[in-house]
Amino acid sequence: MELKITCIPGDGIGPEIVAEAKKILDTVAEKYGHTMNYTDILMGGASIDAYGVPLTDEAIETARNADAVLMGSIGGNTSTSPWYKLPPNLRPEAGLLAIRKALNLFANLRPAVLYEELAGACPLKEEISAAGFDMMIMRELTGGLYFGERRTVEENGVMKAIDTLTYDENEIRRIAVKGFDIAMKRRKKVTSVDKANVLDSSRLWRKVVEEVAKDYPEVTLEHMLVDNCAMQLVRDPAQFDVILTENMFGDILSDEASMVTGSIGMLASASLNDSKFGLYEPSHGSAPDIAGQDIANPIATILSASMMLRYSFDLDKEADAIDAAVRQVLKDGYRTVDIMSEGCTRVGCRQMGDLLAERIR
């Protein structure tokens, strides 16, 4: 199988971690008989330096013509970088918003996994962390309160701000279908999170999700109010498989879920459109203070590449091989500096990639 991938190395540690992800993808391709066809484009600060804008139309077109996009991290130090003296629409992060819009990436996937070997980093009590967890937050990315009509007005001498939360049934249905499709590749359980006891948009959300669920009889569906879900994430995170929710709730819950893993350097993410196309990136930032020192943790980007194989190419066996390699390297006691603990062997970014490639072979 030929995989046509657009790569965005990005800024800071981005080029280093993307290089290791490519190393792993090439190893997988060699073992399983695939061909990797990479095309690099610039985005973020690197694009600003080269072209004066965080993302060019040509770069968008290159990404659109690929099967998937693999991205490192973008941006720099917001207090010292000249990029952040530019208008907001010309800053590095504007490129990310632009590519999401241009490619219609409406479904955000953020896995939160607590590896047994990293349980000590989990901030929850030991009796909770000992059970481990492996969940996927499925967040609608282009609708809801963040994209609704907004305005600030003065009425009778009093300032008033208005933000509108709007969803139509088609927006809900397409993210629900994605959520159930993802659940079919996992443990076949969906927890749909809303605020249906208060919000009309949530009542419509619940109605449409229940309609979609009828097409997935193998998947168990449960509904949970968002405030209860926030509590359950710290009380019993092991109960969750796929959490399906709207934009603002997903923004908050995915950050909460990532923190209970205790290790942001291990967290992948993906943004998908209504086809198999997706943009895959680590959840962490560009860490410009450690760029070029070979100490960055590439695992989040490598796990993002695993998600790409699974969700854009349906190469589950190949994705399983990457995931298994990550678990084995952790079990063997190898750590980058961000996840280092007593009794383990510290390795750099490139060596971590080499170790993972060895285990895949």
Catalytic residue among 40, 84, 146, 338: 146
What region, left, alpha or beta, does residue 175 occupy, with left being phi > 0 and alpha being psi -120 to 50 degrees? alpha
Specify whether 227 is catalytic.
yes
Specify whether 195 is catalytic.
yes
Residue 25 confidence (pLDDT): 98
Residue 52 confidence (pLDDT): 97
Catalytic residue among 195, 216, 241, 311: 195
What SS3 class is residue 38? Answer: strand
Q: Is the pLDDT of residue 263 over 80?
A: no
Residue 262 confidence (pLDDT): 79
Catalytic residue among 134, 251, 338, 354: 251
Residue 120 confidence (pLDDT): 82
Name the residue among 179, 14, 5 with its Cα closest to residue 95: 14
Specify whether 255 is catalytic.
yes
- Residues in contact with 249: Cβ distance below 8 Å, sequence separation at least 6, in sequence order: 139, 193, 194, 195, 226, 229
Q: Measured between alpha carbons, how far is 210 from 222 in angstroms, rounded to an integer?
A: 9
Long-range contacts of 230-233 (CB under 8 A, 24+ apart): 230/256, 233/257, 233/260
Task: State both tokens at 151.
Answer: 């305005």
116 vs 169, higher pLDDT: 169
Q: What's the whole-number average pLDDT of the chain?
A: 95
Q: How confident is the model at residue 351 (pLDDT cuts 50, 70, 90)?
A: very high
Residue 268: how many CA atoms within 13 Å on its side-chain side? 31
Residues 311-348: pLDDT tens digits?
999 999 999 999 999 999 999 999 999 988 889 999 99
Q: How confident is the model at residue 265 (pLDDT cuts 50, 70, 90)?
A: confident
Q: Is the pLDDT of residue 85 over 80?
A: yes
Residue 259 confidence (pLDDT): 86
Catalytic residue among 26, 40, 181, 255: 255
Q: Are strands 150-155 and 158-163 parallel, antiparallel or unpaired?
A: antiparallel
Q: Is the pLDDT of residue 189 over 90?
A: yes
Residue 57 confidence (pLDDT): 97
Specify whether 200 is catalytic.
no
Residue 238 burial by CB count (10 A; 0-12/13-18/19+): exposed, middle or buried?
middle
Specify whether 251 is catalytic.
yes
Q: How confident is the model at residue 307 (pLDDT cuts 50, 70, 90)?
A: very high
Place of tokens 């207090």: 79
Name the residue among 230, 274, 249, 226 with its Cα closest to residue 144: 249
Q: Is the pLDDT of residue 116 over 90?
A: no
Residue 117 confidence (pLDDT): 85
Catalytic residue among 49, 57, 163, 227: 227
Task: State both tokens at 147.
Answer: 């994209």
User: Domains (ranges, CATH) in the chain?
Assistant: 1-113+267-361 (3.40.718.10), 123-261 (3.40.718.10)
